[in-house]
Amino acid sequence: MAKLFDSFQRGIDYLRISVTDRCNLRCIYCMSSEGVPLIPHGDLLSYEEICAVVRAAGALGIMKVRLTGGEPLVRSELPILIRMLSQIEGIDDISLSTNGTLLKKYALELKQAGLKRVNVSLDTLKAGRFRHITRLGELADVLDGIEAAIGADLCPVKINMVVMRRINDDEVLDFASMTCKEGWHVRFIELMPFTDVTEFVPSSEVRQRIELIRALEPCWPKTGNGPAKYFRLPGATGTIGFISPMTEPFCSSCNRIRLTSCGRLCSCLLSYDGIDLKEPLRSNASIQEIKQLIVEAVASKPEHHHLTDAAVLVKRKMYQIGG
């Protein structure tokens, strides 16, 4: 099978797809309390169009697909898309990033459709604070969703906590303890400058706080080869990961490209323009033409992001391209 490489000889085998810009929460580091101007439904890629892109990408060597949003589970009949993707040659891993609020309702159906695993965003274990951070929703719904995902064997279920100073950084040890109590796989993520809600907490500081209580042992992840560095507390069945885009950028090993909900293929999380695939798809472009556009997008992948530049301006928000 062909293999995609960018101009810096990084192998590209992972496609993240934002299926919607809509979300049922309003997290303080993602969007305003009023929400955002929504993309008209007709401007979103249809499931058939998404599959056409994935079919072309699979022929080029893309093997892993992750569905994101916004919140992907607010898009109607998402299990149908997962079933369609699971039948595409070359795609051997389909996963989902979600805020977990709707996961209890859909976990089993998602598994039956062909979903392998889920990542759940959860930034606090305190109900009142959950409402402050998300502005909407209930913590209990997310906790129920995590249990439903584990029960449906969408494993490993990874819990992503964005650590924010003076907002939730006092809960680092509580999350770490869940790897022992409940076998959770927790990843602590450095806040990226998509808003100025607060300052990020370096992963090194998070790790130091944990190791003041108990030593961490390096370990290998159960699945995937993403940016996290993994550790385990002695005796824990779960793991602790650190994702450090600000202090320890992982650009040199980045293996992913991203498709926005309105059909722009971006080579980096911070790419603004990307390459438009919607117009060619709706003009009956051949699979060879779509493949060529994917090759062009991969060739444009920058060597590294510029998140730490003093004058960086992130033009596209996280809900528009997916985390």
pLDDT digits (tens, 9 = 90+) for 136-169: 999 999 999 999 999 999 999 999 999 999 999 9
Q: Which helix (H) or strand (E) holds 210?
A: helix 203-211
Strands 93-98 and 117-121: parallel
**How many percent of the chain have pLDDT more than 70?**
92
Comparing 80 with 38, which gets the higher pLDDT? 80
What are the tokens at 149?
Answer: 């995902």
Amino acid type, 21: D
Confidence of residue 251 (pLDDT cuts 50, 70, 90): very high
Which three-class secondary structure state does DSSP give residue 33?
A: coil
Q: Residue 313 class from Cβ within 10 Å (0-12 exposed, 13-18 middle, 19+ buried)?
A: exposed
Per-residue pLDDT, 321: 55
Per-residue pLDDT, 221: 77
Q: Encode pLDDT of 193-234 as tens digits.
A: 877 778 899 999 999 999 999 999 999 876 666 789 999 999
Over 60: is that where the pLDDT of 2 sits? no
Per-residue pLDDT, 313: 46
Q: How many Å apart are CA 168 and CA 180, to the nearest integer?
A: 20
Over 80: is that where the pLDDT of 293 sits? yes
Confidence of residue 276 (pLDDT cuts 50, 70, 90): very high
The set of residues, in sequence order, having a beta carbon less than 8 Å from that of 253 and lying 6+ positions away, is 10, 227
Per-residue pLDDT, 311: 43
Over 80: is that where the pLDDT of 13 sits? yes
CB 17 within 8 A of CB 44: no
Class of the CATH-defined domain 4-321: alpha beta
Q: Encode pLDDT of 49-89 as tens digits.
A: 999 999 999 999 999 999 999 999 999 999 999 999 999 99
Per-residue pLDDT, 223: 65
Q: Which residues of 246-278 are buried (b: 16+ CB within 10 A; e: fewer)?
A: beebbbeebbbbbbbbbbbbbbbbbbeebbebb
Task: State the average pLDDT over residues 15-42.
Answer: 88
The set of residues, in sequence order, having a beta carbon less than 8 Å from that of 145 and lying 6+ positions away, is 98, 100, 101, 102, 103, 104, 107, 120
Mean pLDDT of the chain: 92
Confidence of residue 126 (pLDDT cuts 50, 70, 90): very high
In this prediction the pTM is 0.93
